[in-house]
């Protein structure tokens, strides 16, 4: 079976759903108190990967624009072409103005001792100063956005 961006997106959404279930059911003391941070960052990563795969799928489904997905990490604001698919233009605007998407694409995985209370890097205490992400809302919004874009792409 040929691997596709759409299939990868679906897989990352599935993994994000599994991590979200784990967040709600796990004991906060697991892994020496680091379980919540490890799971929430894994969930965030899966959401970011799903988002990037969706962007790549949008580009692949609209070859008339002649744009391919760049190497490495990217988001909708990474594209500088004048003529962009309307979905990419919409997402670039949402990355700036939509709280759920902005918190997702601007999530800072790497924490420094200066950014956390008491100079502790690997602790959930540092997460209180991070941009908060409502994971359930973010997952629901992303799934809704993907479904809407896919329905629109079927019209092309």
Q: Whole domain around residue 18: which residue ranges?
A: 5-153
> Would the CA dihedral through 121, 127, 132, 136 be positive or negative?
positive
Domains: count for the chain: 1
Residue 155's pLDDT band, with cuts at 50, 70 and 90, is: low
pLDDT of residue 126: 44
In the predicted structure, residue 1 carries a pLDDT above the cut 60: no
Mapped onto helix, strand or coil, the DSSP state of residue 81 is coil
In the predicted structure, residue 2 carries a pLDDT above the cut 80: no
Q: Range with the lowest mean pLDDT among 41-50, 90-99, 101-110?
A: 101-110
In the predicted structure, residue 125 carries a pLDDT above the cut 60: no
* pLDDT tens digits for range 52-84: 999 999 999 988 898 988 899 999 999 988 889
List b or e across 81-109, with b for residues whose CB sees 16 or more CB atoms inside 10 angstroms: eeebbebbebbbebbeebebbebbbebee
pLDDT of residue 156: 55
Mapped onto helix, strand or coil, the DSSP state of residue 102 is helix
């Amino acid at each position: 079976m040929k691997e596709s961006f759409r299939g990868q997106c679906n897989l990352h959404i599935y993994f994000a759903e599994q991590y979200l279930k784990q967040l709600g059911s796990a004991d906060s003391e697991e892994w020496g108190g680091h379980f919540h941070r490890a799971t929430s960052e894994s969930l965030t990563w899966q959401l970011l990967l799903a988002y990037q795969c969706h962007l790549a799928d949008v580009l692949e489904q609209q070859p008339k624009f002649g744009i391919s997905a760049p190497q490495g990490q990217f988001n909708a604001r990474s594209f500088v072409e004048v003529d962009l698919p309307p979905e990419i233009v919409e997402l670039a605007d949402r990355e700036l103005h939509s709280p759920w998407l902005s918190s997702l694409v601007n999530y800072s995985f790497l924490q420094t001792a200066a950014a956390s209370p008491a100079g502790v890097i690997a602790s959930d205490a540092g997460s209180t100063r991070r941009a908060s992400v409502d994971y359930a809302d973010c997952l629901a919004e992303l799934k809704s956005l993907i479904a809407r874009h896919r329905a629109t792409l079927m019209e092309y």
